[in-house]
Amino acid sequence: MKKFERFEGVVAPLDRANVDTDLIIPKQFLKSIKRTGFGVNLFDELRYLDEGQPGQDCSQRPLNNEFVLNQPRYQGAQVLLARRNFGCGSSREHAPWALEDFGFKVVIAPSFADIFYNNAFKNGILLVTLAEEEVDRLFAEVEANEGYQLDVDLEHQRVITPSGEILEFDVDEFRKHCLLNGLDDIGITLQDEEAIRSFEAKHRQQRPWLFRQPA
């Protein structure tokens, strides 16, 4: 995982509540056995006017010009501004893989679904939870100002608007640490190998039926 560094990026507004992971990346693209290459199919059903197929050359497909990510002013966006309960539905990690592959580093919303929240951080995507009023205000500012960028500073847990307004956010210490240092969870957990082994031995002794295999 890459280290998450402070950056300023163009913001794209996706004005829709309860964006589910089926919408972020439709099921036909889940057949891939790779982690990469999902970006061209991010929001496939909103982005294109036809039904997408895995492996297809998307440059030839008809675009939905109404869709925010197809509008010239939002090209190169790295921050996605969204509404409440973003990422609800399935546990598919293909959703953050698609967001990341497309170029998003941050999603800002009033709330996120639990599994998506975990999956995003494990792929280096920062999710920023702000109050509903703050998100409303950002939507208004983004739509009113072409080229609107936010300065995202994870270390100090704040985003800074072009006018200098500072919006602070909470993030748990462990996730922040992993993102800032680009750390791999498994490596960290395996530092506790002894603790896991001793727990397992005790657990097996107390509840042997949990370890049983059919004859």
Partner 1 sequence: MSGQTLYDKLWNQHLVKQRDDGTALIYIDRQLLHEVTSPQAFEGLRLANRKPWRLDANLATPDHNVPTTVKERAEGNSGIKDPVSLIQVQTLDDNCLEYGIEEFKINDPRQGIVHVVGPEQGATLPGMTVVCGDSHTATHGAFGALAHGIGTSEVEHVLATQCLLAQKMKNMQVRVEGELGLGVTAKDVVLAIIGKIGTAGGTGYAIEFAGSAIESLSMEGRMTVCNMAIEAGARVGLIAVDDTTINYLGERPFAPTAQQWEAAVADWRQLVSDADAHFDKVVTLKAEEIEPQVSWGTSPEMVTGISGQVPDPKAALDETVQRSHARALEYMGLQANQKITDIRLDKVFIGSCTNSRIEDLREAAKVAKGNKVADSIKLAMVVPGSGLVKRQAEAEGLDKIFIEAGFEWREPGCSMCLAMNADKLGAGEHCASTSNRNFEGRQGYGGRTHLVSPAMAAAAAIAGHFVDVRTLPANDATHAQEA
Instruction: Give the distance, in angstroms, between the CA of residue 101 and the centroid of all CA atoms in the same chain.
Output: 11
User: From residue 133 to residue 172, what is the string marking binding to partner 1 with x (rule CB under 8 A)?
Assistant: ---------------------------------------x
Examine residue 83 and tell whether it contacts partner 1 (CB under 8 A).
Answer: yes
User: Comparing C-alpha atoms, which of 115, 111, 112, 113 is closest to residue 91?
Assistant: 115
Within 4-63, the residues that bind partner 1 by CB under 8 A are 16-18, 20, 22-23, 26-28, 30-35, 45, 51, 54-55
Strands 79-81 and 106-109: parallel
Q: Are the CB atoms for 139 and 83 separated by under 8 Å?
A: no
Question: Which residues touch 7 (CB under 8 Å, ≥6 apart)?
Answer: 78, 105, 151, 152
> Smaller CB distance to partner 1: residue 166 or 195?
195
Distance CA 43, CA 51 (A): 12
SS (H, E, C) 122-179: CCCCEEEECCHHHHHHHHHHHHHCCCCEEEEECCCCEEECCCCCEEECCCCHHHHHHH
**Three-state SS at 13:** strand
Q: Which of 90, 125, 127, 150 binds partner 1 (CB under 8 A)?
A: 90
Q: Are the CB atoms for 124 and 2 separated by under 8 Å?
A: yes
Examine residue 131 and tell whether it contacts partner 1 (CB under 8 A).
Answer: no
> Smaller CB distance to partner 1: residue 31 or 72?
31
> Smaller CB distance to partner 1: residue 53 or 71?
53
Examine residue 122 and tell whether it contacts partner 1 (CB under 8 A).
Answer: yes
Q: Are the CB atoms for 108 and 159 separated by under 8 Å?
A: yes
Min CB(161)–partner 1 separation in Å: 22
* Size of the residue set binding partner 1 (CB under 8 A): 60
Min CB(114)–partner 1 separation in Å: 5
User: From residue 174 to residue 193, what is the string marking binding to partner 1 with x (rule CB under 8 A)?
Assistant: x--x------xxx--xx-x-
Interface residues with partner 1 (CB under 8 A)? Answer: 16-18, 20, 22-23, 26-28, 30-35, 45, 51, 54-55, 83-85, 88-93, 96, 111, 113-115, 118-119, 122-123, 172-174, 177, 184-186, 189-190, 192, 195-196, 199-200, 203, 207-214
